[in-house]
Amino acid sequence: MKNKIALVTGASRGIGRATAKLLAAEGAAVAVNYFQSESAARAVVDEITQAGGRALAVRADARDEAQVRAMVADVEQSLGPVDLLVANASIGFPVKPFTQFAWGEFEAKLTGELKSIFFSCQAVLPGMIERKSGSIIAISSTLSRHSSPGFIAHSTAKSGLDAFVRSLAEEVGPFGVRVNVVAPGLTLTDATAWLPEEQKAMIGEMAPLKRVALPEDIAGVVLAIASDHSRFVTGCYIPVSGGLLML
């Protein structure tokens, strides 16, 4: 990742944080996007710089076009043109039966998820296309390919994200830009801290590798796909679930 500039959305915590740290350890200069957790984002930047890396904390709501454009302009001015976008920002959603959903809360998840990928891709792609080089990795979920009770909004939104990635990969491949999906299974982060321990243990037991994921497990696959060694990989959906989802 030496001499590469990476932008990771939602990098103040969880999977984004682990990804930003790993990319930086491998030599990338990393923009650590955050929304509300400024001190956590600054702590990620401090950890990276203390280890000898380059990083910058940048605030933006990934669902807001103007904020995303301003963030990318800031990153390009401070670090350089973005070579790698990891679209990871976590868009919250209620977990409940379909019959209890109001359209507004369902819609907020769908539009939030799609706005974040749409705006971040629109902000970085013109430069990538011009340079005929770039990589975009969208963080989806294995729940885009299988269901779980209560997760209808998340599954539907992440399926839209997957379809968006396939279409975009088709469109920008001729310009040397790769677009892929990394789809985590259950991963131990703040987003899943509410799940009962027995349920997490049960899901871990169901996986051939006999555990649930840590954020670093997902970060490792993002690094592998981002690497130039994966230069002929685009439009792919890579589940990272210890074998629980096999395609």
Ligand X SMILES: NC(=O)c1ccc[n+]([C@@H]2O[C@H](COP(=O)([O-])OP(=O)(O)OC[C@H]3O[C@@H](n4cnc5c(N)ncnc54)[C@H](OP(=O)(O)O)[C@@H]3O)[C@@H](O)[C@H]2O)c1
Tell me if 16 contacts ligand X by CB under 6 A.
yes
User: Which residues 76-105 are close enough to bind ligand X by CB under 6 A?
Assistant: 88-90
**Residue closer to ligand X, measured from CB, 111 or 133:** 111
Q: With left for phi above 0 and alpha for psi between -120 and 50, is residue 80 left, alpha or beta?
A: left
**Residue closer to ligand X, measured from CB, 139 or 177:** 139
CB 151 within 8 A of CB 96: no
Cα(239)–Cα(223) distance, integer angstroms: 14
User: Which residues 125-164 are close enough to bind ligand X by CB under 6 A?
Assistant: 139, 141
* Burial 44-82, CB ≥16 within 10 A → b, else e: bbebbeeeebbbbbbbbbbbeeebbeebbeebbeebebb
Cα(183)–Cα(116) distance, integer angstroms: 16
**Residue closer to ligand X, measured from CB, 229 or 247:** 247
Among 120, 135, 155, 189, which residue sits at the site for ligand X (rule: CB under 6 A)?
A: 189
**H/E stretch holding 215:** helix 215-226
Number of residues that bind ligand X (CB under 6 A): 28
Cα(213)–Cα(32) distance, integer angstroms: 22
**Residue closer to ligand X, measured from CB, 21 or 63:** 63
Kindly state the tokens that stand for 127. Answer: 């430069």
Among 1, 6, 8, 12, which residue sits at the site for ligand X (rule: CB under 6 A)?
A: 12
Nearest CA among 206, 239, 225 for reference residue 23: 225
Among 4, 20, 37, 119, which residue sits at the site for ligand X (rule: CB under 6 A)?
A: 37
CB-based closest residue to ligand X? 14
Instruction: Considering only the stretches 45-53, 57-65, 73-81, 120-128, report the one whose residues sit in contact with ligand X under the rule CB under 6 A.
Output: 57-65
Cα(224)–Cα(230) distance, integer angstroms: 7
Among 34, 119, 164, 237, which residue sits at the site for ligand X (rule: CB under 6 A)?
A: 34
Among 156, 192, 227, 230, which residue sits at the site for ligand X (rule: CB under 6 A)?
A: 192
Q: Return residues touching ligand X (CB under 6 A).
A: 9-16, 33-37, 61-63, 88-90, 139, 141, 184, 186-187, 189-192
